[in-house]
Amino acid sequence: MTLDPMLLALVALTLVGLGVGVLVGRRSSEGADRARALQAELDAQRLELERVQGEKLSLGGELERARQEAEGYRTRVVEHFYGTSEQLRALTLRYRELFEHLADGARDLCPEASSALQAGLEMPALSDGEGLDLAEVAPPAQAPDDEPAEEESLEAEASKVPGQTPS
């Protein structure tokens, strides 16, 4: 049996092509596995990035709400202390008026004690707010806790006034 050289060449080329195909396929298979692994890693990183960006947006909104809430609280505190300072100023003016009324009455009713009262009346009174800048006023030093002694001294002074009983 004679083999046709053409058939022999065809078989040889088929075997060579099969060998080359196996080698190329093997190399392609390794690259494809690596490509699939890299694609999976990339997808995982994209999902993580989207999750982190969502958290960032959420936290940014919470931060903005917290800032607005803090600013609102700060505004309320400032308004409260401003109102308190206005009320304290008005109370101080009323106490000054009361002191002057009592001093005038004592001067008229007890002339021998008028020199001691005059010294208290010569102290400058608060103005009606002209030239008063609350930002320039230093905060008062913390007073010692002697309120009971202060109340006792007020009661003692009140008991010195004839016809008055301490309340």
When pLDDT is averaged across residues 116-134 and rounded to a whole number, the result is: 58
In degrees, rounded to 5, the angle at the alpha carbon of residue 64 between the alpha carbons of residues 63 and 65 is 90
Asked whether residue 24 carries a pLDDT value surpassing 50, the answer given is: yes
When pLDDT is averaged across residues 29-51 and rounded to a whole number, the result is: 88
> What 8-state DSSP symbol labels residue 142?
P
Q: Give yes or no for a contact between 166 and 159, defined as CB atoms under 8 angstroms apart.
A: yes
pLDDT at 47: 95
Residue boundaries of the structural domains of the chain: 11-121
When pLDDT is averaged across residues 112-128 and rounded to a whole number, the result is: 63
The pLDDT tens digits for 85-107 are: 999 999 999 999 999 998 888 88
Q: Give yes or no for a contact between 167 and 154, defined as CB atoms under 8 angstroms apart.
A: no
Asked whether residue 15 carries a pLDDT value surpassing 60, the answer given is: yes
CA distance 98 to 114: 16
Helices and strands in the chain, H and E counts: 3, 0
Only one residue has tokens 């997808």, namely 43
Question: Which ranges of 110-128 would DSSP assign to H, the alpha helix?
Answer: 114-121
CA distance 41 to 39: 5
Asked whether residue 50 carries a pLDDT value surpassing 90, the answer given is: yes
State the pTM of this model. Answer: 0.39
Point out the least confidently predicted range of 11-15, 71-75, 144-148: 144-148
When pLDDT is averaged across residues 45-73 and rounded to a whole number, the result is: 94
Q: What mean pLDDT value characterizes the chain? A: 77
Rounded to a whole number of angstroms, the CA Rg of the chain reads 48
Query: Which one is predicted more confidently, 27 or 157?
Result: 27
